[in-house]
Chains A and B, each alone.
Chain A
Amino acid sequence: MMFHGPPTIERRNGSGPEIQTTHVIRPLLRLLAPLWVMAAVAIASICIFALANLARPIVIQQAIDDGIIKGDGDAIVVASIWFFALGIVIYVVQAISTYTVTWVGQQVLRNLRMRLFSHYQRLSMSFFDKEHSGRLVARMTADMNALSDVLNSGFLMIVQALLLLLGAIVILFLLSWQLSLVSLAILPPLIIATMIFRVYSERAYDAVRDRIADVMIHMQENFAGMRVVQAFARERQNAEHFDRINEHNYEANLRTVRISSMYIPFIEWLGGAGIGIILYFGAGAVFGVDVSVGTIVAFIFYINFIFQPIQQLSQVYDMMQSGFSALKKIFGLLEIEPEVVEPKTPATLSLPVRGQIDLDDLSFGYSKDIPVIKDVNIEIASGQRLVLVGPTGAGKSTLAKLMMRFYDPTMGRILLDGQDIRQFSFKDLRRSIIMVPQEGFLFSGTIRENILFGRPDATDDEVVAACQSLGVHSFIEALPDGYDTAVSYRGSRLSAGEKQVVSISRAFLADPPVLILDEATSSMDPGTEAIVEGAIRRALEGRTSIVIAHRLSTAEQAQRILVVNDGRVIEDGSHAELVSAGGYYTSLYERWIEHGNAAGG
């Protein structure tokens, strides 16, 4: 297929997890099992379709030989009735097969899509860290489409082509085996030419796909980055560059045509040659066998039944191959088990949650040999406000993620109100502890919908109340459509700071007993940040909170500060204590003062 449709700027994806061919059949059959009635109807209708088509030339043969040549009017009437009946049968079974094949295919696809999507929801964060997101999306898009091609047309074409091909050969031999042998002499060159053509044209089409991808990538980038292009006055050079890419695409397209320009005349000539052979050897009684005029005409029809299926099969071959490899990738992915699993019988979490958290001899690494958290012990009392500071990569965010149970520790444990968090259901745990990440992530929808993500059953008033308590209500109201401003995960016009405002509001609406803020205000402009930080401080009064700070102004007013470095807690105390301790925090503080940050106010 040529490249068209919405521009997907993605070249072929890597193979990903794959499994044995034989392991594909069984899950595939399991998917098909509940649909077996329709599947059987589909296959039966395809078979009848092929048989009825194969019968038509025989009817014509009878009409010519028994009717026209012998001059028997009844034979023509009989043949006409047969021809009409076959036409009706073909009409009906074609309708049935078209509908049922699509029905079965679409059922399978819908079920498989939902299975894969639900599976993504079960997998742990470690999986998403390792897997390239583009590849996971490709499983759902490119691979499902490849499968869809097979299910919707590939399968039907293969069965039909095979039945017609084999049926035609059998009938030819029954009509006249001598003539069959001679006329089928065109088959070997046809098959060989088709195979050679496939190889070269596949290569040429691969090149076209790469070239058109180049064109699309270049355009996408230049249209998106046109401001930079013009800022650097690069319009002319880029246009020259694009001209080259565009011409390469044109050349690649012409190459595919040149290849088919050699194949097509050969095939068409072979078709003509086949008819010539049939006429000459059939009618010429070369073998001493008298072949009737009707038989010759039937032969000409049957030769067509052989020509088309062979070309179709070669087309479907590639489709089947990519469909099969797509299936392998999809099932391979479905076999991966989540690393963080919910307990089968979760412990009950006694309400209200007090929010006492203990990290007990905690160690963890994203990969086995590189520890990120090294034997950390922290006790966080219920209602305590804790600030984590430390250099980038020290492990602050990792500690937060472990508390959320995005990962399980390699050693040690985390207790919430005295119980290991691994004993709770995900629902209970994640209702109790919520983390606001640095990146303010927005789902497509409105601002209101994004805030409601925190607690879907909240009323509009509660949404407004949550935003008011954060001091961002007037800020959101000032956006073009206020709370109904449309946003999306990509291409949203909100700034990073504005996204963070929505992201914190979302967590405030959810109102969890324990709140973790991971540099959650870092991108706001200083004016807004000062407002939000003040509001957060007041709102978190009496609630357990862990704030990962990017600025020392945040730390200044905390009850307790932990300095994290290289996976360990190296300092622990209040701001005043740590400033006078003469350690890491002290030097951090001094450098900050030096740049005049504490001035004013």
Chain B
Amino acid sequence: MDEEQLDLKAGARLLLNELKRQWVSLGLALFAALLWTVARIAIPVLIGITIDEAIDLPGGTDLDLLLWFMLGMLGLAALQGGGASMRRYFAMRTSHRVEADIRMQFYASISRLSFDFYDKTATGQLMSRASTDVHEVQMLTVMIPINFAFLLMAAGSFIVLAFIHVWLALLGLIVYPMVTIITVRFFNKLFPATARVQQGLGELTSVVEENIAGSRLVRSFGREDHEIARARKVADQIYEDNMEVARLRTTYGPLFFLLPTIGQLTILAYGGWLALNGQISAGEFVAFFQLLNMLIWPVQGLGEMIASGQRALTSAARIWNILKEQPTVRQKPNARSMPDGHGEIEFDNVRFSYFPGQPVLRDFSLKVPAGTSIALVGPTASGKSTVAQLLPRFYDIEDGSIKIDGVDIRELNLQELRSNVGLVFEDTFLFSDTIRNNIAYGNMDATEQEVMKAAQLAHAAEFIERIPEGYDTVVGEQGFSLSGGQRQRIAIARAMLKETRVLILDDATSSVDAHMEEEIRNALRIVMEGRTTVIISHRISTIALADQVVLVDQGRVVDIGSHADLLSSNPRYQEVLGQVEARV
């Protein structure tokens, strides 16, 4: 997915649609923001009025009036607090609702897509969209109500001040829009710089991970100094990028302070002069000063939101690019359910390629009678695993047909088809869940006894029972680490528990040692009974389980026969199995 096209308009549409769905919550947040703003502006004004009307009087302080003003102040403070609280609550509610909804849509949309999508898209790509990009959108959403308030506050303050003295208001506030503009520029520069820092930290993490995982190799080849130099390069880069961030902060940070100071200085000098001449009162002078002080933060906040909005739109567009993807394998509108039968498989002149123009299977024809088993044997990249992937319709073929029990698989209900084809993959994937749930993955209704029986058949029970928590042990990336052979045995148990007509074992015993393989083989023999089985393996002993051996080379069926027949008659077969030393 390099050089991705970003449709910012589609991103904006996505965002607006989400906001529209949350309009009640968002509306309440905006209403609360309005209340908050009114209180925020009223407080400095009230301070000014208090000074003029109750304190700075020729006859001394008017205590009764002062008490009323003070109560008014407490009331305004309560309004401000309540408004702030309500604004925050509904803003967060809106933004997290939007976040959760987008994430769910994203997840559901990815689950629908076909294998070709996963082939071309790295998990990290998806994760960064589901985390960083969704987070950007949430950050923008949460900022909307407070920035609405900030805008009101800026406008309201100007109006109030202009009523007191237009020129003083203009001169005092003239620098503030500059702060907003500079903030936008600052964040637009800061963001790529901090992203570089993050990227550097990510690189350092992979250097360290790799170094620790390969620590034995580093020592074997005495490459410690080389590794240190590699880490130093990244650490130096992180330092440089961090200092670049520091330079930006040093350039811009103090400006955010200096510019408002110029505004305040105007009030102090010009406003002070006006007050001396009696054109404004002492209280009005104080109100001016307070309001300007209060506005420092909002004008920066507005700049930050504009910068954040630009990023959020890009993020939304990146999310949209996934949401709009359509699955290539689709169920027909009136798909039929599985026909009766026991799993007869027929490949008829199948042509298939992962990339256009590079066919992996060509004129591939093969018929497996129900209940029998075949072993697919061939050199690396001959197309054997592809055959296994086509049967559950993970990809659609280009030409020819694949039938199960006489019906083209494209006519069938997809869910039913996949429930009827059991698959043990070459690389075993377990989920971060208990061993029990991993075994029951394809058959959630399985009883405890059924799970244990499957585990026993797959020779997994023996090691599971030795782990302290047994079947309740959580495995997967976060959990208890199992050896390759142990994982594979769980995967075999998982496939055994699923009642299927067809079973595909794609190099399923590759990571168990010879002794264990012998025992699993016995288990496989039991499971294969009555099911049509496709075995893909290099191990002669495993191949020998099958009724027939099919030699596959360059996407075609080259020879069919028993293992012994092929071994004695077909030199290519001998070569593929390493029984003769091939020419270099």
Contact = CB atoms under 8 A, between A and B. Distances in A.
Contacts of A133: 209, 212-213
B510 interface: yes
Interface in B408-450: 414-415, 418-419, 421, 423, 425, 429, 431-432, 441-442, 444
B216 A406 contact: yes
B78 A269 contact: yes
B567 A237 contact: no
Given A83-B265, A293-B282, A474-B584, A250 B228 contact: no
B171 interface: no
A268 B81 contact: yes
B66 A284 contact: yes
Contacts of A7: 124, 127-128, 130-132
A366 to B, nearest CB: 14
A224 interface: yes
A383 B361 CA distance: 48
A331 B170 CA distance: 57
Contacts of B5: none
Contacts of A84: 265
A232 B418 contact: yes
Centre residue among B73, B74, B273, B580 by max chain A CB count within 10 A: B73
B43 A269 contact: no
Contacts of B275: 67-68
Interface residues of B, number: 157
Interface string A524-548: 0111111100110000000000000
B546 interface: no
16 contacts: A6-B132, A87-B258, A114-B228, A128-B212, A223-B127, A226-B118, A231-B421, A232-B494, A234-B442, A246-B103, A264-B81, A269-B81, A275-B43, A280-B70, A284-B61, A296-B55
Contact of B107 (A222, A261, A525, A596): A222
A227 B286 contact: no
A257 B88 contact: yes
A470 B56 CA distance: 98
B198 A6 contact: yes
Given A229-B111, A268-B84, A217 B432 contact: yes
Interface string A253-266: 11001101110111
A11 B478 CA distance: 9
Interface string B232-264: 100110110011011101110111011001101
A510 B221 contact: yes
B156 interface: no
A225 interface: yes
Interface in A317-353: none
B107 A489 contact: no
Interface in A583-599: 595-597, 599
B289 interface: yes
B89 A261 contact: yes
The 7 closest A-B pairs by CB, nearest first: A272-B77, A526-B578, A265-B81, A102-B246, A268-B81, A530-B578, A76-B272
B515 interface: yes
B425 A227 contact: yes
Nearest to A431: B222
Contacts of B222: 426-427, 430-431
Nearest to A131: B212
Centre residue among B126, B221, B577, B581 by max chain A CB count within 10 A: B221
Given A76-B268, A221-B431, A430-B222, A284 B247 contact: no
Interface stretch (B7-15, B93-101, B143-151): B93-101
Contact of B379 (A279, A280, A454, A525): A525
Contacts of A296: 51, 55
Interface string B49-60: 011001110001
B522 to A, nearest CB: 13
A219 B415 contact: no
A308 to B, nearest CB: 11
A9 B478 contact: yes
A80 interface: yes
Given A91-B254, A279-B69, A280-B70, A595 B513 contact: no
